């Protein structure tokens, strides 16, 4: 394929990034055995991980608009795509356990293509990195008492799904003040469904993304919290990634499928 002389346009939304990342997975198709993306695979040093989809893709592929395996010709500047992608992703520290886990998964991904990952991705002094979504959240909300009067949260904790520190007292108070522990989306009540085993159990979803917090944290409010069942919680984060918009508490109450359809129309 002849290399384009036209400078490609950078992505404007997380939705575009996700679609590009999905297209990158077509690199496994036999018809793309001689594609430019596969040829350059071991030269990519900045890899981006989408936890809900469990897929990796490189910055130069997902950072430009409407990239596909067929169209990709290596055109563009990796530096500018990396800067643009900081809107939605954060680097995983190379000395962390999470980096070890993700690098192992990345190697498995490459091995399926009989390829190697660039050493720049792994070396401490290397310019490469593994990046993960800022708002890929999977939080365990079992409550416990804290001796704090204010609800401070937002200090970054790197975990495989990019967890952020939550104040358990806030979650406990949100549950205590709720009229019931029914899922706001589907109405499931764990105690009614499972008896004593489900008593007091419900997950909590923050309707205000924690990535909006500054590095010192933010003051959260009980009204930020939507009580949801485990299935709906996972689907909420999937639709956030797809639509690049966080549903309000009222939109969740109106129905998650309704929000997903309306926001795509």
Per-residue pLDDT of the chain (265 residues; tens, 9 = 90+): 555 556 789 999 988 999 999 999 999 999 999 999 999 999 999 999 988 778 999 999 999 999 999 999 998 887 899 999 999 999 998 988 788 889 999 999 999 999 999 999 999 887 899 999 886 543 333 333 333 445 555 444 444 444 445 567 788 889 999 999 999 999 999 999 999 999 999 999 888 766 555 444 566 788 889 999 999 998 998 888 777 788 999 999 998 888 877 655 5
Which pLDDT score is estimated for 51? 80
* Single residue among 89, 106, 133 that ends a domain in this structure: 133
Tell me which of 74, 101, 133 is where a domain ends.
Answer: 133
Residue 61 included in any domain: yes
The predicted structure's pLDDT at residue 84: 95
> Distance between CA atoms of 206 and 187, rounded to whole angstroms?
18
CA-wise closest residue to 131 among 80, 67, 65, 58 = 58
pLDDT at 238: 82
Residue 140 in any domain: the answer is no
* Predicted pLDDT at 138: 39
At 243, list the tokens: 């639509």
Predicted local distance difference test score (pLDDT) of residue 142:
36
Same domain assignment for residues 27 and 95? yes
CA distance readout (Å), 228 to 5, 8, 159, 163, 225? 50, 41, 22, 18, 9
Q: Do 122 and 67 share a structural domain?
A: yes
Answer yes or no: are the C-beta atoms of 64 and 81 closer than 8 Å: yes
Number of domains the chain is built from: 2
HSE-up of residue 42 (Cα within 13 Å, Cβ side): 7
Range of the domain at 33: 14-133
pLDDT for the residue numbered 63: 96
- The answer to whether residues 115 and 201 belong to one domain is no
- For 262, phi then psi, to 5°, come to -65, -35
119 and 185 in a single domain? The answer is no
Q: Are residues 85 and 167 in the same domain?
A: no
pLDDT at 75: 87
* 88 and 198 share one domain: no
Beginning with the edge strand found earlier in the chain, give each strand of the sheet holding 89-91 in spatial order.
55-58, 46-50, 129-133, 89-91
Task: For residue 11, count CB atoms less than 10 angstroms from its CB and return exposed for 0-12, middle for 13-18, buried for 19 or more.
Answer: buried
Whole-number Å distance between alpha carbons of 45 and 36: 16
Predicted model pTM: 0.57
Is the domain of 157 the same as that of 127?
no
Q: Cα–Cα distance between 45 and 25 in angstroms, integer?
A: 17
What's residue 151's pLDDT?
A: 55
């Amino acid at each position: 394929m002849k290399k384009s002389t036209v400078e490609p346009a950078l992505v404007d939304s997380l939705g575009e990034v996700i679609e590009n990342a999905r297209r990158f997975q077509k690199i496994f198709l036999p018809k793309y055995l001689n594609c430019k993306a596969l040829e350059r695979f071991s030269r990519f040093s900045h890899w981006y991980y989408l936890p809900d989809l469990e897929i990796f893709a490189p910055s130069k592929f997902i950072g430009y608009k409407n990239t596909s395996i067929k169209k990709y010709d290596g055109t563009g500047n990796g530096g500018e795509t990396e800067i643009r992608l900081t809107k939605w992703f954060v680097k995983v520290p190379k000395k962390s356990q999470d980096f070890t886990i993700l690098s192992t998964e990345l190697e498995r991904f490459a091995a399926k293509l009989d390829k190697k990952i660039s050493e720049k991705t792994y070396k401490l002094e290397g310019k490469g990195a593994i990046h993960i979504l800022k708002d890929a959240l999977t939080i365990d909300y079992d409550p416990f008492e804290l001796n704090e009067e204010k609800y401070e949260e937002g200090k970054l904790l790197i975990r495989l799904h990019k967890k952020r520190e939550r104040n358990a007292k806030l979650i406990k108070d949100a549950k205590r003040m709720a009229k019931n522990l029914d899922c706001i989306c589907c109405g499931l009540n764990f105690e009614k469904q499972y008896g004593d085993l489900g008593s007091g159990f419900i997950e909590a979803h923050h309707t205000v993304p924690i990535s909006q917090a500054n590095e010192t944290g933010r003051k959260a409010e009980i009204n930020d919290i939507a009580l949801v069942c485990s299935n709906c919680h996972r689907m909420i984060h999937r639709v956030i990634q797809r639509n690049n918009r966080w549903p309000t508490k009222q939109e969740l109450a109106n129905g998650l499928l309704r929000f997903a359809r309306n926001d795509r129309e």
